[in-house]
Amino acid sequence: MGSRSRYRALEVRDHLVERWEGRELAIDAADNAGAAAADVVVLATPWDAASATAMSVADKLKGKVVLCMCNALAKVGHEFQPLVPPRGSVAASVQAAVPRSLVAAAMHHVPAKELGTISEPVESDVLVCSDHPKATEVVCDIVTKMPNLRALDAGELSNAAPIEAFAAVLLQLNVRYRTRAAVKFTGIDP
């Protein structure tokens, strides 16, 4: 990591720690290789960089759970539209790029701004897809530890395509109604 990139990463880290004052947060700044050293890796890049980013650290991701929360979307005029990436979803493309990793798709419908505001809980269901039961279990466990979020096993990674695409609908609702809509499913017992 260059000194300028490291400085920017440290600024972001300091901002998060300051924003979430009073919480014991073990946050450090790192480049992609440093982030890939974590036990569970969250991929939250622009959609068209997700596979390349994962491939750049593939050796460090071997055998690890990789949570892909990227959506392939474009703003066309005044509306958001889903795009169809290679393999049907960003998560499936990432899985193909790092086949020795355990990729799970999740967090696509949780409003990003609210997710970053740790002091105000977000109420939402989180659909989790993976071809690897261990990845589904790990990601569901992480989601369940977050206040007011409920993890739902939504099946295999092939289901990630419509889940990712539905984010365009939520964004459009949020723009039209000036809100932060999230998804809650009824009829599923806790």
> Contact at 8 Å (CB) between 130 and 124?
no
Which domain CATH number covers 119? 3.40.50.720
Asked if residue 186 is part of any domain, the answer here is no
Tell whether 185 is covered by a domain: no
Domain count, the chain: 1
Does any domain span residue 158? yes
Q: Is 155 exposed, middle or buried (0-12, 13-18, 19+ CB in 10 A)?
A: middle
Q: What is the pLDDT along the chain (190 residues), one digit of tens a residue?
A: 556 666 776 787 777 777 767 766 677 778 899 899 999 999 999 999 999 999 999 999 999 999 999 999 999 999 999 999 989 999 999 999 999 999 999 999 998 777 777 677 788 999 999 999 999 999 999 999 888 899 999 999 999 999 999 999 999 998 999 988 889 999 998 7
Tell me, what's the pLDDT at 2? 59
Residue 22 covered by a domain: no
Residue 190 within any structural domain of the chain? no
Is 99 part of any domain?
Answer: yes
Q: Measured between alpha carbons, how far is 172 from 104 in angstroms, rounded to an integer?
A: 25
Q: What is the DSSP letter of 56?
A: H
Structural domain that includes position 100: 31-177
On whether residue 145 sits in a domain, the answer given is yes
Residue 80 included in any domain: yes
Instruction: Report pLDDT for 73.
Output: 95
C-alpha to C-alpha distances, 111 to 26, 34, 126, 182, nearest whole angstrom: 24, 26, 11, 7
Q: What is the pLDDT of residue 10?
A: 74
Q: Is 42 exposed, middle or buried (0-12, 13-18, 19+ CB in 10 A)?
A: middle
The torsion angle over the Cα atoms of residues 152, 32, 60 and 108, rounded to 10 degrees, is 10
151: Cα within 13 Å, side-chain hemisphere: 20
